[in-house]
């Protein structure tokens, strides 16, 4: 199933970026190039081979970790992607961490105060969080924390060589911008899931045998509420990946998203192809991991297999 | 909101999110409609001597880096967001609902195929597909509409299929079958009207997502192209002027957030109104 998705995705990406558009060699050389030089470059890049052959060699290359050379920079694409991942991966993890912490806190608060002030407040906050575009929040964060308070830089990335502290500091505002929307959605899911489980008979039993509300919530309810929550987190991961593309551009972070973006501007089709394929692989892999995670969370599913 | 008093009032007042959502959405649509016939200034009028002006009687929200009237840009920008949202949701709704109805009616292999395709499309968020399209055809508002529309197809296909399967098991479908109606006819005459409320709710929510996606794409320069005013584009312009004119980065974002908030609340409210069982558990 996951393999089928990956193969499908790779075919779509390949067809879109390779077969349909005009000649990559022509684009690279510009409109003034003679047909002979274009043909020569096309031959050098292997563009004159049949599409199926090029597709197979692309996939074979990916499988060996050989991503090819960038048209625009002439450097190995693997290096470009590695540099991008060094920014995007920590950013995504930090955002995911923030999302989970925020959403768990607010979601449980809302469920515990169902239909009271805490619930209303958390739900209003969540509605607003869903409506605020992440790039606008990013701009507002820059306006307040970088332009006015000068606590953070307005953008850019010092690199991990500058030390973990400064590098992480550059990722804080982007991660907050990314996490806010995700947390807003996840808060509602957690609240609904917790409320659902709290109506179950075993919760009443646990309360009846004398466990406190808090103990029931932490020990019994949360664990059972995790399945829908984890599912949504998996689906959200695709949005998080898309979000990093946008937010990296707001903060001028040299991540994978910015690489994709610049490669489009450079008409560097092979880099776009590899980077987007990698993003799709990550999304599919995360959802695969989540399917496995179900079995860890819920022993009942293990028995059913 | 409980007790007799609550029940005697019209249902709109028992659904505050519906009322607020409807009001904000109406404001959004009215702004777009108004901008077709009137705006304080033309959003294309460049007046460099009066650039980055503070709000005044002549320019309610001031002017941007080219001396264009910000209030007018916002009004005309509403048109753009509305248009992209309507077309993108229509693409997703028509194709997605057709696929979903088909999947529910046929079952077996066609159903599996449609659902696997939907799974697959979920791995491509709208922003990524728009980037692919932009790489292909160059950035344009059409690419943005297409990308958002395509992203909406699996969403509607899933919702339609799930709802339609439920209706197929009902007795009146059996009666329609017995009366000699074919699969296509039952799908269109009996299934579709019964799942329409759910689709309406989903369409409202997807509309909000489409407005957000269009803003993001235009912000990245992949959506609406200048000089056509667009809220996302305005934020991009404002970002380069954050030190000189921070207020420019506030209005367009507020417009996007209010439009999206309104549509989401409207969707939630409609959902509560159409499915009271769900409302009680909220």
Query: What is the per-residue pLDDT across A189-203, written as a single tens digit (0 to 9) for each?
Result: 899 888 888 888 888
Query: What is the per-residue pLDDT across B116-144, written as a single tens digit (0 to 9) for each?
Result: 888 777 766 667 777 777 666 777 888 88
The answer, yes or no, to whether residue B207 has pLDDT greater than 90, is yes
Contacts of B70 (CB under 8 A, 6+ apart): B59, B60, B61, B62, B63, B64, B234, B248, B251
Token pair for A19: 């077969």
The pLDDT confidence band at residue B94, using thresholds 50, 70 and 90, is very high
Cα angle value B180/B182/B184 (rounded, 5°): 155
Separation CA A42–CA A33 (nearest Å):
12
Q: Which residue of chain B is at minimal alpha-carbon distance from A241?
A: B125
Asked if A130 reaches chain B (Cβ–Cβ under 8 Å), the answer is yes
The answer, yes or no, to whether residue B183 has pLDDT greater than 60, is yes
pLDDT reported for residue B252:
92
CA distance readout (Å), B132 to A14, A16, B139, B151 = 11, 7, 10, 13
pLDDT reported for residue A60:
85
Q: What is the DSSP string of B23-63?
A: HHHHHHHHHHHHHHH--SS-TT---GGGTTPPP-SSSTT-B
The answer, yes or no, to whether residue B31 has pLDDT greater than 60, is yes
The pLDDT confidence band at residue A24, using thresholds 50, 70 and 90, is low
The pLDDT confidence band at residue B279, using thresholds 50, 70 and 90, is very low
Asked if B245 reaches chain A (Cβ–Cβ under 8 Å), the answer is no
Interchain CB distance below 8 Å, A269 and B261: no
Neighbour tally for B138: CB within 10 Å: 13
For A85-105, b where at least 16 C-beta lie within 10 A, e where not — what string? bbbbebbbebbbebbbebbbe
Separation CA B12–CA B9 (nearest Å):
8
- From the list A8, A136, A264, the residue facing B253 with the nearest CB is A136
Separation CA A293–CA B133 (nearest Å):
34
Output the average pLDDT for chain A: 84
CATH of domain A81-304: 1.10.3720.10
Architecture in CATH for domain B16-34+53-279: Orthogonal Bundle (1.10)
Q: Which residue of chain A is at minimal alpha-carbon distance from B208?
A: A131
Chain A residues with CB under 8 Å of B249 CB are 136, 139-140, 143
Asked if B280 reaches chain A (Cβ–Cβ under 8 Å), the answer is no
Q: Summarize the confidence of residues A112-130 as an average pLDDT.
A: 88
Chain A residues with CB under 8 Å of B136 CB are 16-17, 20-21
Q: Where are the domains of chain A?
A: 2-63, 81-304
- In the three-class reduction of DSSP (H, G, I as helix; E, B as strand; rest coil), residue A256 is classed as helix
Q: Where are the domains of chain B?
A: 16-34+53-279
CA distance readout (Å), A252 to A261, B124, B131 = 11, 23, 18
- In the three-class reduction of DSSP (H, G, I as helix; E, B as strand; rest coil), residue A76 is classed as strand
The answer, yes or no, to whether residue B278 has pLDDT greater than 60, is no
- Please state whether the predicted TM-score (pTM) of the whole model is above 0.90: no
Separation CA A139–CA A177 (nearest Å):
9
| Weakest mean pLDDT among A84-93, A230-239, B27-36, B115-124 | B115-124
Shortest Cα distance from A304 to chain B (angstroms)?
23
The answer, yes or no, to whether residue A32 has pLDDT greater than 80, is no
This complex has an ipTM of 0.83
pLDDT reported for residue A95:
94
Query: Are residues A70 and A77 in contact, defined by beta-carbon separation less than 8 angstroms?
Result: yes
Best CA proximity match to A279, nearest among A305, A240, A226: A240
Interchain CB distance below 8 Å, B242 and A250: no
Q: Which of B120, B217, B248 to mutate to test the interface with A (most CBs of A within 10 A)?
A: B120
B15 Ramachandran zone, left/alpha/beta (phi>0; psi -120 to 50): beta
Q: Which of A127, A136, A181, A271 to mutate to test the interface with B (most CBs of B within 10 A)?
A: A136
Q: What is the DSSP string of A172-229?
A: HHHHHHHHHHHHHHHHHHHHHHHHHHHTSHHHHHHHHTT--HHHHIIIIIHHHHHHHH
Chain A residues with CB under 8 Å of B122 CB are 235, 238
pLDDT reported for residue B263:
94
Chain B residues with CB under 8 Å of A250 CB are 239
Separation CA B232–CA B128 (nearest Å):
17
Output the average pLDDT for chain B: 83
Interchain CB distance below 8 Å, A131 and B258: yes
Q: At what angle do helices A269-297 and A222-250 cross, to 10 degrees?
A: 170
pLDDT reported for residue A245:
84
The answer, yes or no, to whether residue B11 has pLDDT greater than 70, is no
Q: Which residues pair with A69 in a beta bridge?
A: A76
Asked if A144 reaches chain B (Cβ–Cβ under 8 Å), the answer is no
pLDDT reported for residue B88:
93
Q: Summarize the confidence of residues B229-236 as an average pLDDT.
A: 90
Q: What is the DSSP string of B236-257?
A: HHHHTTTTT-GGGGTHHHHHHH
Shortest Cα distance from B172 to chain A (angstroms)?
32
The answer, yes or no, to whether residue B13 has pLDDT greater than 70, is no
Query: What is the per-residue pLDDT across A76-87, written as a single tens digit (0 to 9) for each?
Result: 888 888 899 999
pLDDT reported for residue A19:
58
Token pair for A242: 């898309």
The beta strand positions in chain B, using DSSP E, are none
- From the list B123, B135, B232, the residue facing A272 with the nearest CB is B135
Q: Summarize the confidence of residues A254-263 as an average pLDDT.
A: 87
pLDDT reported for residue B280:
45
The answer, yes or no, to whether residue A14 has pLDDT greater than 90, is no
Q: Which residue of chain B is at minimal alpha-carbon distance from A138?
A: B239
pLDDT reported for residue A22:
54
Query: Are residues B18 and B266 in contact, defined by beta-carbon separation less than 8 angstroms?
Result: yes
Asked if B124 reaches chain A (Cβ–Cβ under 8 Å), the answer is yes
The answer, yes or no, to whether residue B1 has pLDDT greater than 60, is no
Separation CA B54–CA A104 (nearest Å):
43
The answer, yes or no, to whether residue B208 has pLDDT greater than 90, is yes
Percentage of chain B modeled with pLDDT above 90: 24
Token pair for B61: 């929200």
Interchain CB distance below 8 Å, B242 and A142: yes
| Weakest mean pLDDT among B2-11, B29-38, B72-81, B173-182 | B2-11
């Amino acid at each position: 199933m996951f393999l089928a998705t990956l193969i499908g995705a790779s075919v779509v990406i390949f067809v879109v970026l390779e077969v349909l558009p005009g000649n990559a060699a022509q684009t690279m050389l510009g409109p003034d190039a003679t047909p002979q030089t274009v043909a020569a470059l096309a031959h050098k890049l292997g563009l004159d081979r049949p599409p199926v052959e090029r597709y197979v060699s692309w996939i074979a290359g990916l499988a060996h970790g050989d991503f090819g050379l960038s048209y625009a920079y002439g450097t190995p694409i693997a290096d470009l992607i590695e540099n991008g991942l060094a920014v995007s991966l920590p950013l995504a993890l930090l955002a995911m961490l923030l999302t989970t912490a925020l959403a768990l806190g607010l979601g449980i608060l809302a469920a515990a105060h169902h239909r009271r002030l805490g619930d209303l407040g958390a739900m209003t906050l969540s509605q607003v969080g869903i409506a605020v575009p992440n790039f606008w929040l990013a701009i507002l964060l820059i306006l307040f924390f970088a332009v006015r308070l000068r606590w953070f830089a307005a953008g850019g990335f010092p690199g991990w060589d500058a030390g973990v502290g400064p590098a992480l500091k550059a990722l804080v505002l982007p991660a907050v911008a990314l996490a806010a929307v995700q947390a807003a959605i996840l808060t509602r899911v957690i609240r609904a899931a917790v409320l659902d489980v709290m109506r179950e008979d075993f919760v009443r039993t646990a309360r009846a045998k004398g466990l406190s509300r808090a103990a029931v919530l932490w020990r019994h309810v949360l664990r059972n509420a995790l399945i829908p929550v984890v599912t949504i987190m998996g689906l959200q991961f695709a949005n998080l990946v898309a979000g990093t593309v946008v937010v990296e551009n707001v903060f001028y972070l040299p991540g994978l998203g910015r690489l994709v973006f610049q490669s489009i501007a450079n008409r560097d089709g092979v880099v776009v192809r590899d980077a987007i394929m990698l993003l799709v692989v990550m999304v599919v892999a995360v959802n695969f991991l989540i399917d496995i995670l179900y079995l860890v969370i819920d022993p009942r599913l293990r028995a059913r297999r | 909101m409980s007790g007799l008093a609550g029940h005697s009032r019209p249902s709109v007042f028992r659904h505050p999110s519906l009322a607020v959502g409807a009001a904000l959405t109406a404001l959004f649509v009215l702004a777009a409609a108004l901008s077709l016939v009137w705006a304080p200034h033309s959003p294309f009028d460049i007046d460099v001597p009066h650039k980055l002006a503070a709000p005044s009687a002549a320019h309610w929200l001031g002017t941007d880096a080219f001396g264009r009237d910000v209030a007018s840009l916002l009004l005309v920008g509403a048109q753009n967001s509305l248009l992209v949202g309507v077309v993108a949701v229509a693409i997703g709704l028509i194709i997605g609902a057709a696929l979903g109805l088909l999947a529910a009616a046929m079952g077996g292999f066609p159903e599996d195929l449609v659902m696997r395709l939907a799974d697959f499309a979920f791995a491509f968020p709208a922003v990524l597909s728009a980037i692919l399209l932009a790489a292909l055809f160059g950035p344009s508002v059409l690419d943005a509409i297409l990308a958002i529309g395509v992203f909406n197809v699996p969403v509607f296909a899933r919702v339609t299929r799930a709802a339609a399967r439920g209706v197929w098991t009902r007795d009146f479908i059996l009666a329609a079958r017995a009366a000699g109606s074919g699969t296509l006819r039952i799908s269109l005459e009996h299934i579709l009207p019964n799942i329409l409320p759910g689709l309406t709710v989903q369409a409202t929510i997807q509309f909000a997502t489409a407005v957000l996606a269009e803003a993001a794409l235009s912000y990245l320069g992949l959506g609406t192209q200048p000089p056509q005013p667009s809220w996302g584009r305005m934020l991009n312009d404002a970002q380069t002027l954050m030190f000189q004119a921070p207020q420019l980065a506030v209005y367009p974002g507020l417009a996007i957030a209010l439009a999206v908030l309104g549509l989401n609340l409207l969707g939630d409210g409609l959902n509560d109104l159409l499915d009271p069982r769900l409302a009680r558990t909220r």
